[in-house]
Amino acid sequence: MKFKTLLLSSMILASTAAAAEPTHRLFATNERDNTVSVIDSRTNKVEATIDVGQRPRGIGLSPDQKYLYVAISEDNAIAVVDVNTLEVLRTLDSGDDPETFAVNPVNGHIVVSNEDDGEATFLDPKSNEKLAVVKVGIEPEGVAVSPNGKYALVTSESSNMVHIIDTSSYELVANLVVAARPRGLAFNSDGSFAYATSEIGNEVAIIDMETLKITKKAAIDVEESKPMDIKVSPDDKMLYVTTGRGNSVAFLDAKTLELKGNVPVDNGVRNDYGSLLYTADGVDGTVSVVDTAKQERVATIKVGAFPWGVVLDD
């Protein structure tokens, strides 16, 4: 989609396992004012704002969590930011109109969805080398890389497919048909299963990563649900799904896809790992904090104009 009018777009989970010397900073991209809000997750206070580039959307961290990556769509680039100093160090040539991306947890390579060109671009952020460009479907959107780094998954909104790419050969090894307008992707902790949301089709699909086939699909029983982002709980038992116009985060059983809870948030929701969810509430210009154990929103943080994505250094 060239312009997001969807109400729930971004979610992140706080980790229960601390990284080495984390900053505890929560970063939120603000699509309409070209900035990233820097939030102290211990106090829920904005401590800085970074001028990062034109139309920042997708956001992520390097595997060592030293660098923040931000997709600056109208600059056709990925900005690289020092997590400690908050300095924009350089930009990477991402191909046309990068929207979302995922970082390979094994080699640190970045996999970008290039919406206008129907491509997935593989980048080495250290050398700024474009390693490969893989043709996928129409309007690629969500991206996820398996925990072992073997597969990259990409959703194509207008082709209604999940594409599976071998990250060693850059070969497209499977195209899975899903419900209308697939958006978010996530893996469980050992990479044995992946999960895909379909916004218009109001569906979540489970993908067996051994057979590369869909094993289960289910609708989300939430009024006006249009599923977008999805994350898996650290124990792999629960899925957290943003419901778009449903203005909530749905809690689903990861095996059965049964609805186990539904937490209202404002106008936004993307994710990491642990006991807290942070949602980017686009229209309201806020980030919501959701306690997953209590299944309730516990805080709201004012950020910039139309926050799109969030990531936590913790």
Classify residue 1: in a domain, yes or no. Answer: no
pLDDT beyond 50 at 287 = yes
pLDDT at residue 103 in the model: 98
Classify residue 269: in a domain, yes or no. Answer: yes
- Number of compact structural domains in the chain: 1
Strand spans (E) along 220-270 = 230-232, 238-242, 248-253, 259-264
Q: State the residue range of the domain holding 73.
A: 10-313
Residue for token digits 């129409």? 138
- For the chain, the distance separating the N- and C-terminal CA atoms, rounded to the nearest angstrom, is 31
Q: In what order do the strands lie in the sheet with 248-253?
A: 230-232, 238-242, 248-253, 259-264
pLDDT beyond 90 at 19 = no
> CB–CB of 259/251 below 8 Å?
yes
Classify residue 123: in a domain, yes or no. Answer: yes
Classify residue 37: in a domain, yes or no. Answer: yes
Q: In the numeric block, which tokens belong to residue 150?
A: 């073997």
Classify residue 236: in a domain, yes or no. Answer: yes
Classify residue 3: in a domain, yes or no. Answer: no
Among 32-36, 91-95, 254-258, 274-278, the least confident range: 274-278
CA 81, 84, 87, 90 dihedral sign is negative
pLDDT at residue 314 in the model: 87
Residue 278 belongs to a domain with what CATH number?
A: 2.130.10.10
Classify residue 153: in a domain, yes or no. Answer: yes
Classify residue 266: in a domain, yes or no. Answer: yes
pLDDT beyond 80 at 217 = yes
Confidence of residue 273 (pLDDT cuts 50, 70, 90): very low
Gap between the Cα atoms of 228 and 209, Å rounded: 21
